[in-house]
Amino acid sequence: MKSKVLVTAALLAVVFVAGGCATQDELRHVSRNLDAKITAVQNTMSGFQESLEQEIESRREIEDAVKSVRKNQADVNADIIQLRDELQRVRGALEEVQARALQEGAGSLDLETGDTREVLKDIEARIQSIEAELGIVKDRPRAAKKTSAPAPEKPRDSETMYSEAYGLFKEGNYTDSRNKFRKFLELFPKTEYSDNAQFWIGESYYFEGEYEQAILEYQKVIQDYPQGSRVPNSLLKQALSFEKLGDTSSARLLLQGVVSDFPGTTAAESARSKLLELQ
């Protein structure tokens, strides 16, 4: 734009001089007018550029906010699953004690009383509160696994692929979920969902009772995503896996580490409760 105006100015100057009808004052007047127009055009273009940059920045902020909300949703879903697993573990321990009492001829015992009943009610209330707030439909039983393979469609983006894998996980289809999470990590190893994906791989083995493999997968979360939000829960689940394998010494060490290194987190609270149980 500026170059065109300058060319026009030069041509006018030549015309005035060649025609012999232009004075120095007239030429200076033409030059000043052209300079003013150039300045106006430059100011207009600068305003357009500034508006465009503000629009781009605004859109980026909106996209970042949406991604943050989606990641928080995944974190909340993880907490729900952890609470359900804790509830199942407590009830399982109660059933074992009741069965042992019956075998020893002590008769039927009602162990869900006092503090124990309050703990169970608290866990159930926390799950129901979170589900009600988010409008989450309860997962189907883990035993009801789908046998049909998912459609081999190429996902549109990382969020789509993560969502598909997590949907399979919630349905209890751990093998297909695990395969899709692994594929997700091959394609998108450094997204805001990558540490979650690796954590769910560990969880899939944990829920299948493959505790040694689960420990290895949780370790990948700790090593590959040390600044991620999944590190405390991965250490906690490693401790629970060691306990399942009968290695209470390793379990205690890990639980103590969670309590000391991640104070104030849900994982630290669960670790502290588990330490009291192992004493």
Q: Is residue 71 one of the residues assigned to a domain? A: no
Q: Is residue 111 one of the residues assigned to a domain? A: no
Closest Cα to residue 134, out of 82, 69, 196, 55? 69
Do 167 and 269 lie in a common domain? yes
Q: Is residue 145 one of the residues assigned to a domain? A: no
Amino acid at 236: L
pLDDT band at 18 (very low <50, low <70, confident <90, very high): very low
Return the CATH number at 212.
1.25.40.10
Q: Is residue 112 one of the residues assigned to a domain? A: no
Do 48 and 161 lie in a common domain? no
Kindly report the length of the chain. 279
More confident site: 69 or 15? 69
More confident site: 279 or 172? 172
Q: Is residue 218 one of the residues assigned to a domain? A: yes
Do 272 and 174 lie in a common domain? yes
Count the domains in the chain.
Answer: 2
Structural domain harbouring 158: 153-279
200 Cβ partners below 8 Å, 6+ apart?
A: 165, 166, 169, 177, 181
Q: Is residue 79 one of the residues assigned to a domain? A: no
d(CA 87, CA 15) in angstroms, rounded, equals: 93
The pTM score is 0.50
Q: Is residue 255 one of the residues assigned to a domain? A: yes
Tracing tokens 């009602």 back to the chain, one arrives at 110
Do 159 and 270 lie in a common domain? yes
Do 166 and 273 lie in a common domain? yes
Q: What is the pLDDT of residues 132-177, one digit of tens each?
A: 555 544 444 343 444 555 544 444 588 999 999 999 999 999 999 9
Question: Residue 228 is inside which H or E element, if any?
Answer: none
Q: Is residue 144 one of the residues assigned to a domain? A: no
The mean predicted confidence, pLDDT, of the chain is 74
- Three state DSSP letters for 6-32: HHHHHHHHHHHHHHCCCCHHHHHHHHH
